[in-house]
Amino acid sequence: MKVQKPCPVLATRRRLGSVEASSGPAGYLIVEANGGLNQQRSAICNAVAVAGILNAVLVIPSFGYNSVWKDPSEFRDIYDEDHFIATLEGYVKVVKELPDELLSKYDHNITNIPHLRVEAWAPAKHYLGKVYPVLQEQGVIRIAPFANRLAMDVPSHIQLLRCITNYRALKFSAPITALAHKLVNRMIERSSMTGGKYVSVHLRFEEDMVAFSCCLYDGGDAEKFEMHSFREKEWKGKFKGKDLDFTAGRNRIDGKCPLTPLEVGMMLRGMGFDSNTSIYLASGKIYKGEQHLAPLLKMFPLLYSKESLATSDELAPFQGYSSRLAALDYTVCLFSEVFATTHGGNFPHFLMGHRRFLFNGHAKTIKPDKRMLVGLLENMTISWKDFQG
């Protein structure tokens, strides 16, 4: 990326076997990015790539309201719009909204604009063969939903658009950046015994994650009832007819269960991190937090989170906005000496790639083999020395 030059759009289209536009963009592309912070981030990167394929002007993506994340934030609340547009200049033209004269053709109602449904993981040729003719004819198209609507395997110059978007163009908004950098500096200050270096842990042990995993922990029948009630409330009928006790056992053996705070602590101590290690915990509200965090806090007294590092006044503007809170976690993890992921998902995948890019391939990441780790944790006769080895 440091030596790549912008790919001329017409050259891009020629490589893909498309008929070149005679002059200027073929039209405007509107997409809706849904999901949480990093699913939306994925959709934005794909939107820029698709705009490059189609020789289209991209309208700043809108964010769909998600019933799980419950965050009404818009693009400008999470990211710096002007930086996004300026960074992509020369690659893909981006505008904040449709020109009024074009929008008036559709009675100033976005929903009246031709709506295309694109198959999941569609290749570049699909967009050129099926979508581009409609764009040429109508001058504007709307694609929704847009999650996972572009294949992972695309030509290198299209993948370049994704990378530029992810690592250069998507800069968090000023309020997020300001508080996130304060939290990073506070973590450095609290890590004086380790030269300002700290470990960040992405812990997926929120109530919804525990319930969705169908895994069982140490709560007995009360926990089973509580998790069953939660599943019925959030995902009615999705788990009906399943033998959840069998599923829980199978998931545990297969390493598909979220690690508990205790298990994360044992893993880190087994790897040689001692009680002087500063830990930043990136997470939502931990399921039965006081109970489950107690053993981790005992092993690592220097345990922090955004809630403990920031004042209540500093966090107040972010409360109720899960994506903005996740952006704070993302930034603090980004600048940690070591990042530990415990349960997969979009957050760690984006973060691991971003850290490799930021630190020229030298970022330190802990990605445990959970199948092997579970075998060690459930071995009641193993010595601490063998556990460490």
Q: Where are the alpha helices (DSSP H) in 190-303?
A: 207-213, 220-234, 244-253, 261-270, 289-299
> Which pair of structure tokens corresponds to residue 323?
């994506």
Q: End-to-end distance of the chain based on CA atoms, in angstroms? A: 40
Q: How confident is the model at residue 130 (pLDDT cuts 50, 70, 90)?
A: very high
pLDDT exceeds 70 at position 19: no
pTM of the predicted protein model: 0.90
The whole-angstrom separation of Cα 117 and Cα 128 is 14
CA angle 288-290-294, nearest 5°? 120
The lowest-confidence range among 18-22, 60-64, 257-261, 313-317 is: 18-22
What residues have CB less than 8 Å from 49, skipping those under 6 apart? 150, 154, 158, 159, 161, 162, 165
**pLDDT, averaged across the chain:** 91
For 339-365, what is each residue's pLDDT tens digit?
A: 999 998 899 999 999 999 999 999 999
Q: How confident is the model at residue 238 (pLDDT cuts 50, 70, 90)?
A: confident
Whether residue 294 contacts residue 242, with contact meaning beta carbons closer than 8 Å, is answered with no
- Judged on CB neighbours under 10 Å (0-12, 13-18, 19+), 301 is exposed
Q: Where are the alpha helices (DSSP H) in 235-273?
A: 244-253, 261-270
